Amino acid sequence: MLGSGGREHALAWKLAQSRLLADDSDTFYAAPGNPGMAAHARCISLDATDHRAVIALCEGSRIGLVVIGPEAPLVDGLADSLRAAGIAVFGPSRAAAQLEGSKGFTKDLCERAGIPTAGYVRTASLDDARAALDRFEAPYVLKADGLAAGKGVVIAQSREEADAALADMFGGQFGEAGAEVVVEEFLEGEEASFFALTDGTTIMPFGTAQDHKRVGDGDTGPNTGGMGAYSPAPVLDETLQARVMAEIVEPTVRTMTDEGMPYSGVLYAGLMLTNEGPKLIEYNARFGDPECQVLMTRLESDLGELMLACAQNRLGTCEPVRMRNETALTVVMAASGYPGSPRKGGAIDLGEAEARGAKVFHAGTSLNGEALVANGGRVLNVTAMGATVARAQATAYRAVDAVDFPTGFCRRDIGWREVEREAKG
């Protein structure tokens, strides 16, 4: 398992329960892992950008499956290097990971395949981009083409603001990722996420989730990687999910395969539920963080078997994914300063949090001797299940309140939309 965040802790927790690891002689490695993952895996240091080192470790330890958690190594082609060495890997090739690695690539693919998404123009210079603004109305949506750690999207309320943002983007604010900018139509609606496993032939729905991107209560303040999430997302009902499969996910997977870039791994569709139906906002080539934490909490199927089946192009031999029919909700506890400059080193005592019925995933922690300390922006994901969103929320916050983390903070309203809907009945 490659990675070190809350997503990877949740995956490691679930993978450790797999039948594939049932034998005492099996060893589960996490690289680099984190103190939470150390309960399930042997954590080792490994430079994922050094493909030869990764292959050498896999060959030396006879690794049967590599799971790549984050997007950077995927876009960097690590899955290709491993496959070329005959090592099974869960995660798309470099070509297929362009669905996340290049916004322009994905928009063009949507156009070729007739997938509903916001109208757009790809631009490669400041002049082109400014001219493209003429074709749209405020608010303007501007996206750096490449990976920008979730920070590459600007929604500008005025032409002046858009002009200034474009100058920053082409001025190198996002480095190479901003060499191209996609200007697109603003979509109105509610956002939701849909996940599917695929080996390029079989596509298996893997559930839905909603996250809270803004740092503050009431969805205010700057964007973050996500301050909390819940699954399922009731707004994405069965009918809408069938439409997302038929109109968005299936044509994407089919087109990628037809064009010689078969997609293998998890495909995460960020959607806007508009008056005209679901439209694609973006794809990610990996699980969402913290969406993964709530999906894994609900998952009943053997994750290892599903991932190995994807890696071996035989997902069609697996039973459909089984998820508990309850809500899982996770609250992110972050270090003060996040999403700007998070304060590192703050002491953490998890206390009775898990005894109160939650699972605490480590997202950015490290050990200072015996002591657990904050070592990142998003630090803990306190995750609970419940028969309703309100109950899952109540259990999660009871556990949050048992955590002693003086330099941390969290939102107090994760799940508010659904809690309100439930209250209205």
Rounded to the nearest angstrom, the gap between the alpha carbon of residue 203 and the centroid of all alpha carbons in its chain is: 18
Q: Which residue is nearest to ligand GLY (CB)?
A: 226
Among 91, 225, 228, 376, the residue binding ligand GLY under the rule CB under 6 A is 225
Which residues in the 340-379 window bind ligand GLY by CB under 6 A? Answer: none
CB atoms within 10 A of CB 419: 19
DSSP class per residue in 223-272:
E-S-SEEEES-TTS-HHHHHHHIIIIIHHHHHHHHHTT----EEEEEEEE
Total residues at the site for ligand GLY (CB under 6 A)? 8
- Taking the complex as a whole, how short is the minimal distance between the CB of residue 131 and ligand GLY, in angstroms? 30
- Taking the complex as a whole, how short is the minimal distance between the CB of residue 187 and ligand GLY, in angstroms? 17
Among 91, 104, 288, 408, the residue binding ligand GLY under the rule CB under 6 A is 288
Cβ atoms 2, 48 nearer than 8 A:
yes
Between 212 and 356, CB nearer to ligand GLY: 212
- Taking the complex as a whole, how short is the minimal distance between the CB of residue 211 and ligand GLY, in angstroms? 5
Classify residue 210 as exposed, middle or buried by CB count within 10 Å of its CB (0-12, 13-18, 19+). buried
Q: Which does residue 187 touch among ligand AMP, ligand GLY, none (CB within 5 to 8 A, set by kind)?
A: ligand AMP
Candidate segments 43-51, 251-259, 281-289, 379-387, binder of ligand GLY by CB under 6 A: 281-289
Cβ atoms 285, 291 nearer than 8 A:
no
User: Of 4, 5, 21, 6, which Cα lies nearest the Cα of 307?
Assistant: 21
Residue 333 in tokens: 């506890």
Give me the amino acid identity at 181.
V
User: Of 113, 83, 85, which Cα lies nearest the Cα of 99?
Assistant: 113
Candidate segments 26-34, 258-266, 284-292, 368-376, binder of ligand GLY by CB under 6 A: 284-292
Q: Which does residue 191 touch among ligand AMP, ligand GLY, none (CB within 5 to 8 A, set by kind)?
A: ligand AMP
Pairing of strands 42-43, 29-32: parallel
Buried b or exposed e, range 43-79, using 16+ CB within 10 angstroms: beebebeebeebbebbeeeebebbbbbbbbbbbbebb
DSSP label at 343? Answer: P
- Taking the complex as a whole, how short is the minimal distance between the CB of residue 153 and ligand AMP, in angstroms? 4
Among 289, 302, 413, 418, the residue binding ligand GLY under the rule CB under 6 A is 289
- Alpha carbons 120 and 33: distance in angstroms, whole number: 39
Q: Which does residue 251 touch among ligand GLY, ligand AMP, none (CB within 5 to 8 A, set by kind)?
A: none
Candidate segments 20-28, 287-295, 324-332, 366-374, binder of ligand GLY by CB under 6 A: 287-295
- Taking the complex as a whole, how short is the minimal distance between the CB of residue 290 and ligand GLY, in angstroms? 6
SS3 382: strand
Q: Per CB under 6 A, does 302 bind ligand GLY?
A: no
Residue with tokens 């060495």: 85
Q: Which does residue 247 touch among ligand GLY, ligand AMP, none (CB within 5 to 8 A, set by kind)?
A: none
- Taking the complex as a whole, how short is the minimal distance between the CB of residue 278 and ligand AMP, in angstroms? 13
Q: Per CB under 6 A, does 226 bind ligand GLY?
A: yes
SS3 212: coil
Q: Which does residue 281 touch among ligand AMP, ligand GLY, none (CB within 5 to 8 A, set by kind)?
A: ligand AMP
User: Of 1, 35, 4, which Cα lies nearest the Cα of 18?
Assistant: 1
Binding mask 241-280 for ligand GLY (x = CB under 6 A): ----------------------------------------
Contacts to ligand AMP by CB under 6 A = 118, 141, 153, 184-187, 191, 213, 270, 281-282
Q: Which does residue 186 touch among ligand AMP, ligand GLY, none (CB within 5 to 8 A, set by kind)?
A: ligand AMP
User: Which residues would be at the binding site for ligand GLY (CB under 6 A)?
Assistant: 150, 211, 225-226, 284, 288-289, 291
